[in-house]
Amino acid sequence: MASRLWLTLCAALAALSLLAWPLPHAALDWQPALVASQPWRIVTAAFVHWTPIHLAANLAGCAVIATLGWRAGLGAREAVAALIALPLTQLGLLLRADLQRYAGLSGELHALVAIAAAAHQQRQRRDGDERVQ
All structural domains of the chain: 3-127 (1.20.1540.10)
Q: Are 14 and 59 in contact (CB under 8 A)?
A: yes
Q: Is the pLDDT of residue 133 over 70?
A: no
Query: So what's the pLDDT on residue 129?
Result: 57
Contact 103, 59 (CB under 8 A): no
Asked if 115 and 85 count as a contact pair (C-beta separation under 8 A), the reply is yes
Burial per residue of 47-68, b for 16 or more beta-carbon CB atoms within 10 angstroms, e otherwise: bbbeeeebbebbbebbeebbeb
Q: How far apart are CA 100 and CA 107, in angstroms?
A: 16
Q: What is the mean pLDDT of residues 88-101?
A: 89
Mean pLDDT of 105-118: 94
What's residue 28's pLDDT?
95
